[in-house]
Structure 1
Amino acid sequence: MRKLLKGTGYTLLILFVLFNTMTAFNAYKLTHFYNRNEIDSTPHAGGLHTAGVIFFGQKSYKSLLKDVPATPYDTFTVITPDHVSLAGWHIRPDTVINGTVLLFHGHAGCRSDVVKEADAFHRMGYDVYLVDFRAHGVSEGNVCTVGYDESKDVKALYDYALAKGADKKRMVLWGISMGAATVMKAVSDFDLKPGKLILEMPFGSLLDAVKGRLHIMQLPPEPLSTFLTFWGGTEQGFWAFGHKPWEYARKINCPVLLQWGIHDPRVTEAETHHIFQNIDTPHKTLIKYANSGHESLYKKEPGKWQTVVGEFLQQQ
């Protein structure tokens, strides 16, 4: 019996070590994006390769810039407080300036993904800035912390726009998914004072974001989400379980428009309501989109988006 128990203990220990090793490798791959010339593009097939991908994870490309603004724009570079170089576009208004809008894309995306929204704000008469987060698009770096360090990117663009003459009282910060969560963290971390926030489908916590990713991959959320969250944060030097946008919401004191798609497979309705309840301002609005999931609400339901956003921006 003693030998049996000892053997079982060793087996469980080995499985525990292997599981931690696998999740550590996969967490590393999920937080890194590479230039295309840094990834072996040779086709691979067979069970051994598949097993390697499952155990060690798979490298991901940085998103390419595809769509560009519909009107003339300038390209600029901004340096973050921790010395990361970010690439961006500035679309100057054709009409009377109503204010300034800063746009922030989602995880694994780039500024091209939010060009349609940028063009819409431009048509409304706003001065528009959009950047690639670190490790995305053509910005510097390979490491993504899913909004934790990227809050410095928001701070950098905020300061850059102010230096270019933007009025913070008429500044709108817009973000989608990770971009929205990052905006919330930046407001909390750096005590930013924008005029308004438009937040589209931010996750409630990093742990919930990992669960959402596993859900769309049709993988069981536990215990994978806990281990992936732990290793992702540990490898990047922060406590990932403390990365909670619903907590950052408590420090928001400007008007907020929070938007979410009813068919969102990644961010739950409960997360959305938790964030909304914690926003510390009476000037807040929650809008749900009946035909949308975790995607561009503007592209999916453009009429409703333009009406809702337009009315929110006109509010005093």
Structure 2
Amino acid sequence: MKRSHLLAAGAAGTAAAGAALLGAAYGVYRLGFYHAAEPEVLATEELIRTLPYGAQMERDAAALAAAPCEAVHITADDGVRLAGRYYHHADGAPLAIIFHGYKGFARRDGLGGYTLCKRLGFNVLLPDQRSHGASGGHTITMGVKERYDCRAWAWWAARRFGPETPLFLMGVSMGASTVLMASSLNLPGSVRGIIADCGYTSPREIARRCLPQYLPRLPVGPMYAIGRLGTLVFGRFDPEDADCRRAVAHTDIPILFIHGEADDFVPCAMSRENYAACASPKRLLTIPGAGHAVSCYVDPAAYAEAVERFLHDCLTGTV
């Protein structure tokens, strides 16, 4: 075979290999990170699947669905239109901004926090994370871009309600990691505290942990590298650009970490790592027997006591 033919065959082989690699990267991106916003579905069947907490979740969901709210919108730093619901309970009250989790929605993942904050007389904002609910976008970045959305919501609240209104950032699962990653950004001075319920340490580590569930029998290392290529090329973000531990090591905002000890999705050890790295006043509550994102239902008394004390101490400066 002539040398020119060999070169052509080599180039064709390289191109085919490159195309296959990009195809695999796109597949992993679509599987784990692509998520077009869609209407919320609060089906009874979905809530019942979480038994033995389904009955209480149904009651909380019904109360939230019946509560009057104001639809609010902002524009993210990168131009994505973000949507949220504002629930007004008392003039001049502190505002809790509660962020939901991965492929979740505000009126499910925020139930426990909303119910408790309403009882305390707090006003509540439930944003839809980008590419969820009524918000725009189509890529979940696991907190890399969502942390800036969190900052944008905090500044929106500070402008609307004034610097004298205390703000609290709260989140569940990916929402927890979102608020932790935002903790080191230039947030308004009115942010008094952060509550992170079952957050992971970093997008990189949670992606590597979850890949075997989606792609069993495939090696994690190569699959993560291919998936990262997919996020870079198709999602326009790098999962290694953000880390909760790095963020909380450079914040002075008090943080309450909460995690279920029986969480088999985001290990409780991840909150312990985040807690250990935190440089600001901090507290840690772990709930024995609680799985992922249900600590407030497994032990509502311990959950409420820890949250209420933390909020009180933040407001009085005794945290």
Tell me whether the two structures share a fold, i.e. TM-score over 0.5.
yes
Aligned to 2:308: 310
Alpha-carbon distance change, 285 to 168 in structure 1, aligned in 2, over 3 angstroms: farther
Which position in structure 1 is the counterpart of 2:222?
A: 223
Instruction: Find the partner of 2:185 among 185, 189, 200.
Output: 189
Deviation at 1:148, TM superposition (A): 1.1
Whole-Å Cα distance in 2 between the matches of residues 29 and 189 of structure 1? 30
What is the TM-score with the length of structure 2 in the denominator? 0.77
| TM-score normalized with structure 1 length | 0.78
Report what 1:142 is aligned to: 138
Task: Report the Cα offset of residue 207 of structure 1.
Answer: 1.7
SS at match of 2:171: strand
Q: How does 1:9-48 map to 2 (within 5 A)?
A: 18=20, 21-34=23-36
Residue identity opposite 1:210 in structure 2: A
* Structure 2 residue corresponding to 1:112, chosen from 92, 107, 127: 107
Paired residues of 1:175 and 1:183 also in contact (CA < 8 A): yes
Letter in 2 for 1:143: T
- After superposition, the Cα gap between the structure-2 partners of 1:267 and 1:166, relative to the gap in structure 1 and judged at 3 Å, is farther
1:277-316 correspondence to structure 2 within 5 Å: 277-281=276-280, 283-315=281-313, 316=318
Choose 65-74 or 289-298, whichever is displaced more. Answer: 65-74
C-alpha separation in 1, matches of 2:23 and 2:164? 46
Q: Name the structure, 1 or 2, with higher relative contact order (CA <8 Å, separation 6+).
A: 2
Deviations, residues 214-264 of structure 1 (Å, cap 9, x unaligned): 354483534323432343234333332232111111122121100111112
Superposed, 1:160-309 pairs within 5 Å as 160-167=156-163, 170-193=166-189, 194-217=191-214, 219=216, 221-281=220-280, 283-309=281-307
Partner of 2:161: helix, strand, or coil? coil
Is this contact kept in 2: 1:199–1:259, CA < 8 A?
Answer: yes
Residue by residue over 1:189-211, the C-alpha shift from the partner in whole angstroms, topping out at 9 and shown as x without a partner, is: 33454100001121111121112
Aligned-partner residue type, residue 276 of structure 1: Y
Residues 116-156 of structure 1: CA distance to partner in whole angstroms, max 9, x if unpaired? 42122011111111110111011112222111111222122
CA contact (8 A) 1:63 1:108 kept: no
Whole-Å separation in 1 of the counterparts to 2:41 and 2:73:
15
Greater Cα shift, 287-296 or 231-240 = 231-240
CA separation of 1:34/1:277 partners in 2, compared to 1, >3 Å: closer, same or farther? Answer: same
Separation in structure 1 between the aligned mates of residue 39 and residue 302 of structure 2, nearest angstrom: 28
Percent of aligned pairs sharing the same letter: 20
Query: Do structure 1's residue 156 and structure 2's residue 152 form an aligned pair?
Result: yes
Contact between 2:198 and 2:292, CA under 8 Å: does it hold in 1? yes
Give the equivalent residue in structure 2 for 1:101: 96
- Structure 1: stretches of 5+ with no match in the other structure: 1-9, 36-61
1:166, distance to aligned residue in structure 2 (A) = 4.6
Matched-pair contact (CA < 8 Å) for 1:230–1:240: no
Is the counterpart of residue 82 in structure 1 residue 85 in structure 2? no
* Unaligned runs of at least 5 residues, structure 2: 1-11, 43-60
Letter in 1 for 2:251: I
- State the alpha-carbon separation in 2 of the partners of residues 198 and 292 from structure 1: 17
SS in 2 for 1:148: coil
2:236 counterpart letter in structure 1: G
| 8 A Cα contact 2:25 2:229, kept in partner | no
Could you tell me which amino acid in structure 1 is paired with residue 40 of structure 2?
L
Q: How much does 1:268 deviate? A: 2.6
Distance in 1 of aligned mates of 2:96 and 2:200: 22
Cα distance, 1:69–1:284 mapped onto 2, change above 3 Å:
farther
Which letter maps to 1:306? A
Pick the aligned partner of 2:40 from 64, 67, 71: 64
Matched with 1:56 is none
Moved more, 303-312 or 16-25: 16-25
- For the structure 1 residues 139 and 87, does the alpha-carbon distance in structure 2 shift closer, same or farther, using more than 3 Å as the test? same
Equivalences, count: 279
